[in-house]
Structure formats: C-alpha cells, structure tokens
Chains A and B, each alone.
Chain A
Amino acid sequence: MDTFINSIVPMMTPVLFAALGGLFTHLSGLLNIGLEGLMLLSAFFSIYVAHLTHNLFFAVLAGIGISMLLAVFAGFLSLNLRANIFVVGLGVNLFANGFTVMLSSLLFSTKGTVFFQNLPKLSYIEIPLVHRIPYLGPILSGYGALDYLAIGAAVLCAIILYKTPYGYHLRAVGRDEKAAQNAGISVYWHRLYALALSGLFAGLGGCALALPLQTFVGGMTNGRGWIALVAVILGGGKPSGVFIASLIFGAASALSNWLQASAPMSPKLMMTLPFLITLLFMIVKKNNTEEGV
C-alpha cells in the first residue's frame, strides 16, 4: 500500500512541472502548446550532459537551458514576427521530435533507446523526523529531489502570481491586452517572460522524466506535455487547480497501473482510467466551486 501511495507523486511530477509552465503562458494570453516538445528536448539534453559531465546539476541546467532557449525563440517568432502561437507550438513539438532522434543517431549512433547504467542517480530523500511519523511519514517522505522541487515550485508560482506586482501585471496582460498597455504594462515583455518560464518549467519536467530513468527514448514524453495543457485548463488557470489536476492525474495513473496488473479487465480499458477520473473529478470540482474562471 505504501508503494502505491508513494508512486503517485513521481507520476505527477513531470506533468505538474510542465503544467506550471503552461499556466504562465495561459495567464499571459499566449498559450504555449509546445510543452511536449520542450520536455522532450530537455529530456535528451539532460541525459546527454549527465553522460558527459557526470554531474546532475549541470544536467538539469542543460535541460532547462535548451528548453528556455527554444521557448524564447518561439516567443520571438510569435511576438516579433507575428506568427500564430499555435502553429509555432506545433512546430516546436515536431522539431523536438525529429531533432532529438537525429542527435541521438549522431551522438549515440542509435535512433532508439539511449541507456546509461553509470550515470549519477537522483537519490531518494528522507525528510528528517517527518519520515518517522506513523502512517503519514512514508507518504510525505522518500521522494526524489525533483519531486520536492515540483511541489515547492507550485507554491512558489502561487506566490508569484498572487503576491507580486509581476503576477498582477501578467494576469492583467492576459485579461485585457489594451487595458494593460494603457496602464503602462509591457505586453511584449510579459508574454516573453511567460514563455521563458514555460521553457524553464517544461525543461524541469523533461529532467524529471529522463534523469531518474537514466534513459532517453525518442518520443518518451508520450503525451505528457498535452496532459499538462489539459491540467492547465482543468485547473482553471490557478496554481492550486493545476496542482490538484496534476495530483489527480498522478493518482489515477497509479491506480490504473495497480489495477492493470491483477484486475481481470481489459488493459485497454484500464489505460483510459487516468483520463476519465481526472475529467470527472474536475467536472465535479467545477460545479462545487461555481465561480471557475
């Protein structure tokens, strides 16, 4: 049972990171649908740099760096050259898909699986004292550093969005571009910042996906960037909502994995469970809170 509960958070982490990134762009009024591609690119580069330097810090930095670079480039295309953000986002996804496979074949001479046994491992951290609390301890403690960081990032995002001038300005830009402009807020810069942040968080999502596995496989994000977008929308554009949507998705995935192994039901049906549960839960939640966004 502990294993089941403990498996929820690591399943949530990549999606939560990417969803936080998507949240900023959503609030700025320029939704970045390229999260999937940014994650994939970051996954590849984090593994590559971890392989080169044997240093996890540099690996994460490389993953975030390349992801932010591409996100800002997408911002340049969209904001300076007036390209449609959806087309740019799709372009990012297609580019990342092909580019990582190409690099993988050039650098590792395989288009398939890149697998390193000797990479530094992300260790599991037991929080002192907390992990000794009966019942709650095993649930709250014993995750990887990136898992804690994801939850911390969700809190940080809530603070940034609701307690800082930047947060107010960003939301103002998303609500009404003209009004924000008249109030002297730079629409251009706030949107570019939002895209850069989406790169940062999607990059962390890619690291959280690839580094614990010490593996890169072409297309390994397998739709998590799109799930993150769904979490942004279902979460009503709020960090708390995004967190809950990601957590429900993680829990539903864990449940589906658990049931698949032993339940005498069609595995195909079981695979739809995470999506079904997330959707149903958010519909119920929406009806209860009434206001939504």
Chain B
Amino acid sequence: MTKRRMAIVVALISIVSCFSFSVALMVTGEIGGNPIYEMMVSGAESASAELGFELKTVEGGYNSAKWESNLIALAATGKYDLIVTFTEGMPKSVEKAADMFPRQKFALIDGIAAIKPNVYSLGFKDEEMCYLAGYFAGLITLSDLPGANPNLTVGLIGGDTYPAMTDRMKPAFTKGARAVHPDIDVLFSVVGSWSDPKKGKDLAQAQYAQGADIILTIAGGSGVGAIQEALRLNKYIIGVDSNTIPLAPGTILACALKRADLAMNDVMRRAFSSALPYGATERHGIAEGVIGFTFDDPTYLETIPEPIRKQMLEVFDALKNGVIDPLS
C-alpha cells in the first residue's frame, strides 16, 4: 500500500518536474536603488507568483565585464527554460550566448539584439516618453506658472551620450517642445556619470541661468543635484522612469513613466504560455501600456492647470493612436 502510494508520488513529481517552467533573470548591476531594475524584478516576481513557475534572480554586480560571463554560465547549466536580461548594454552578450547555446532561449528587455532563432527582444519606445516630456515642457514654459519665464527655453540633462539618447530621446524631446511652439530652444547637457549629483546641480545651474525654466533629467543619481538647484531657484523639473514627484512636489511637476514591471510581467506570461515569438523583436510604448505619464498623481492634479492637463491627455492619445510620429 505504502509502496504504491510512494510510486504515485514519484510519478506525480516527475510529471510536474517535466512540465515545470523555470526562468533565470540576470540583473545587469544590483537591484537596490535603481527604480527601473526594481520594477523589472517586481514584474518578474509577480508573474512567477501568479503562474507558479520557478524564478532565479542573479545580480550581476557593478563590474560590467562580468555580466557576459554570468549570462554564459547561466546558459551552460541548461537548467532554465528561459534566460532573461535587460538594458542597452546587453545585446552583444546575448547574441554571443545565443550562438554558443542554440537550444537555450533568451529574452532581452529594454534593448534590441540581432535576430536569432532563440532570442526575443523587447525595446521600449523611449521617443514617446521624451516626446511627452518635451510637449509638457513646452506647455509649462509658455504657461503663467510662477516659475515659468518668457524665454521660450527648456532643458535636457542626460547622464551620458549613448545611441538611444542622441538618436531618439533628445530629438523626440526637441520635437515635442517645438510642437507646442516652433521657436522653443532646447538646451542639452551631459553629466558623463549617472552618480555625480554635484555636476548635475552645476549643469542645471548653467541651464537655468541661460533661460531655461524646466529641465528633463535622464541622469539617475546625478539628476538629484538638478532637483536641488530647481528647488533653490523655484524652477521646474520633469522626471523619467518612475514617479519621483513625492521627492519634491511642486518642483518635479510631472514624470514620464516607463512601466518596466508591466513589460517584464507580460514577457514572462507569454513565455510561460509558449506565446513568446522567439526570433523576433518588438518595441512597446504607449499603445502597449508600457510608457505612461503621471496623470493620476494628486500633486500633478493640484499644481498643473486644467488646460495643460487636457492638452497632455490629447497628445498622449495621439501618440497612442499613432497620429503623431515622435521622431521625424
């Protein structure tokens, strides 16, 4: 009797283990302190909890030279049905690992790898995010808010120059601002580091002194310095990625959001139900719900005049429906 029961249990376990799905998530850096990474991991964890598959999260650490070997080591175990990693620094490493292990499936998020039969890439439409921010900056600089001036100048501070920044983010921000008023000037500065708040503050000081009244910061920890300078001078900031308005309400007027958690959750779900199109690349934006804006934030509702909020919703819908091309 007990023997038979044992046999049933063993059979059940083997059946379950045959079908069980396991995913490795390779974090390029460390999770803590990086809002986008925190969102990615929480998206993966919620998918794993909801669908009941195994998730192994590996932090690659700050030494970027080790990320590729981490990825290859994960693939070499052969234990995972899918290996997921993210950010723009990883396409080359994913391509290499995919060539070495043709039977291993990979998914790359927030970056686009070359087409391989065992690789799926999902990029974000950063240009939609920056067009929204640019349009908002244009509306604010023309507005009669107390910190706005009549200079028709807005600013963008980037952490570094990289292809997505120079080819998509900056042009889309400029186009968005000029869609409000064609004579708007866009100042552009680069910190050269994602963790130098002092330089971020100095650059913001230079931009505000040259007539900008609102600055979009895409500079990680360096952006905190720009927020401080905006607080000191009673000027404005637009944030990106996550909602940072509570850090400095009334100074950070709005944030263009990148819902990395939703994107990650969606990829995991599709992978679990074998619906992920390997060998293809996709780019998600507003229409897919991945790019958003702080329309519901209570401070936003309180500080931003109604006509501006209405115009932002219209632009948001126009981008969603493809009526506006954020790049020319």
A219-255 contact mask (Cβ, 8 Å, vs B): 1 or 0: 1101000000000000000000000000000000110
B165 to chain A: closest residue by CB: A267
A208 to chain B: closest residue by CB: B198
Further 4 A-B residue pairs, CB within 8 A, beyond A213-B201, A257-B202 = A111-B34, A112-B32, A112-B34, A261-B188
Are A261 and B206 in contact, with the CB atoms below 8 A? yes
Are B202 and A253 in contact, with the CB atoms below 8 A? yes
| A215 interface contact, C-beta 8 A | yes
Are A261 and B155 in contact, with the CB atoms below 8 A? yes
| B221 interface contact, C-beta 8 A | yes
Binds B, one of A3-11, A81-89, A131-139, A189-197: A3-11
**Which of these, A111, A257, A270, contacts B33 with CB under 8 Å?**
A111
A-B contact pairs, 12 of them (CB 8 A): A3-B206, A3-B209, A105-B33, A213-B225, A215-B228, A218-B221, A222-B198, A260-B189, A261-B203, A268-B192, A270-B190, A271-B190
Inter-chain CA distance A115–B248, complex, in Å, is 11
Where the two chains meet, the residues of B that have a C-beta atom closer than 8 Å to any C-beta of A are 30, 32-34, 155, 161, 187-190, 192-193, 195-199, 201-203, 205-207, 209-210, 212, 220-222, 224-225, 227-228, 247-248
**Which of these, A7, A14, A109, contacts B205 with CB under 8 Å?**
A7
| Contact residues in A for B206 (Cβ distance below 8 Å) | 3-4, 7, 254, 257-258, 260-261
Inter-chain CA distance A10–B198, complex, in Å, is 10
| Contact residues in B for A113 (Cβ distance below 8 Å) | 33, 197, 220-221, 224
| Contact residues in A for B198 (Cβ distance below 8 Å) | 14, 209, 213, 220, 222
| A214 interface contact, C-beta 8 A | yes
Given A3-B209, A271-B190, is A215 in contact with B248 using a C-beta cutoff of 8 Å?
no
Label chain A's interface by main secondary structure.
helix
Given A105-B32, A115-B247, A260-B190, is A217 in contact with B228 using a C-beta cutoff of 8 Å?
no
Inter-chain CA distance A266–B166, complex, in Å, is 11
Top 3 A-B residue pairs of the complex, sorted by shortest distance between their CB atoms: A112-B33, A217-B221, A267-B190
A217 to chain B: closest residue by CB: B221
| Contact residues in B for A270 (Cβ distance below 8 Å) | 190
Given A257-B189, A260-B203, is A222 in contact with B32 using a C-beta cutoff of 8 Å?
no
Are B32 and A109 in contact, with the CB atoms below 8 A? yes
Given A209-B198, A261-B207, is A267 in contact with B33 using a C-beta cutoff of 8 Å?
no
Q: How many residues of A contact B (CB 8 A)?
A: 36
Inter-chain CA distance A74–B72, complex, in Å, is 40
A-B CB pair tally, cutoff 8 Å: 107
| A117 interface contact, C-beta 8 A | yes
Where the two chains meet, the residues of A that have a C-beta atom closer than 8 Å to any C-beta of B are 3-4, 7, 10-11, 14, 104-105, 109-113, 115, 117, 209, 213-215, 217-220, 222, 253-254, 257-258, 260-262, 266-268, 270-271
Given A115-B247, A260-B206, is A220 in contact with B161 using a C-beta cutoff of 8 Å?
no
B192 to chain A: closest residue by CB: A271
Given A109-B32, A115-B224, A115-B247, is A220 in contact with B202 using a C-beta cutoff of 8 Å?
no
Given A257-B189, A257-B203, A261-B206, is A220 in contact with B197 using a C-beta cutoff of 8 Å?
yes
Are A213 and B197 in contact, with the CB atoms below 8 A? yes
Question: What's the nearest-Cβ distance from chain B to residue A103, in Å?
Answer: 13
| Contact residues in A for B220 (Cβ distance below 8 Å) | 112-113
Question: What's the nearest-Cβ distance from chain A to residue B121, in Å?
Answer: 26
**Which of these, A4, A110, A115, contacts B209 with CB under 8 Å?**
A4
Inter-chain CA distance A115–B221, complex, in Å, is 10
Question: What's the nearest-Cβ distance from chain B to residue A64, in Å?
Answer: 19
Are A215 and B210 in contact, with the CB atoms below 8 A? no
Inter-chain CA distance A261–B198, complex, in Å, is 16
Inter-chain CA distance A226–B194, complex, in Å, is 18
A270 to chain B: closest residue by CB: B190
| Contact residues in A for B196 (Cβ distance below 8 Å) | 217, 220, 222
Are A222 and B193 in contact, with the CB atoms below 8 A? yes
| Contact residues in A for B190 (Cβ distance below 8 Å) | 260, 267-268, 270-271
Are B161 and A267 in contact, with the CB atoms below 8 A? yes
Question: What's the nearest-Cβ distance from chain A to residue B234, in Å?
Answer: 15
Question: What's the nearest-Cβ distance from chain A to residue B146, in Å?
Answer: 19
Inter-chain CA distance A165–B105, complex, in Å, is 72
Question: What's the nearest-Cβ distance from chain A to residue B175, in Å?
Answer: 18
| Contact residues in B for A110 (Cβ distance below 8 Å) | 32-33
A222 to chain B: closest residue by CB: B196
Are A267 and B188 in contact, with the CB atoms below 8 A? yes
| Contact residues in A for B161 (Cβ distance below 8 Å) | 266-268
Are A217 and B203 in contact, with the CB atoms below 8 A? no
Are A117 and B248 in contact, with the CB atoms below 8 A? yes
Inter-chain CA distance A72–B161, complex, in Å, is 40
**Which of these, A4, A217, A258, A268, contacts B224 with CB under 8 Å?**
A217
Question: What's the nearest-Cβ distance from chain A to residue B266, in Å?
Answer: 26
B203 to chain A: closest residue by CB: A257
B206 to chain A: closest residue by CB: A257
A3 to chain B: closest residue by CB: B209
Question: What's the nearest-Cβ distance from chain B to residue A190, in Å?
Answer: 33
Inter-chain CA distance A254–B220, complex, in Å, is 21
| Contact residues in B for A260 (Cβ distance below 8 Å) | 188-190, 203, 206
B202 to chain A: closest residue by CB: A257
Inter-chain CA distance A4–B205, complex, in Å, is 9
| Contact residues in A for B210 (Cβ distance below 8 Å) | 258, 261-262
Inter-chain CA distance A112–B222, complex, in Å, is 11
Question: What's the nearest-Cβ distance from chain A to residue B161, in Å?
Answer: 6
